[in-house]
Amino acid sequence: MPFAKVNIHFVWSTKNRAPYLKTKEIRDATWKHIKENATAKGIFIDFVNGYMEHCHCLVSLGTEQTISKVMQLIKGEAAYWFNKQNFINEKLEWQDEYFAVSVSESQLNIVREYIKNQEAHHNKKSFQQEYDEFIKKYGFQKFKD
**pLDDT over 90 for what percent of the chain?**
79
Closest CA to 105 of 8, 23, 2: 8
Dist CA 102 CA 94 (whole Å)? 22
Dist CA 44 CA 41 (whole Å)? 9
Match domain 6-138 to its CATH number in 3.90.1010.10, 2.20.25.90, 2.60.120.260, 3.30.70.1290.
Answer: 3.30.70.1290
Dist CA 24 CA 76 (whole Å)? 21
pLDDT tens, residue by residue, 57-116? 999 999 999 999 999 999 999 999 999 999 999 999 999 999 999 999 999 999 999 999
Whole-number pLDDT of residue 96: 94
Query: CA triplet 10, 110, 31: central angle to 5 degrees?
Result: 45
**Whole-model pTM?**
0.91
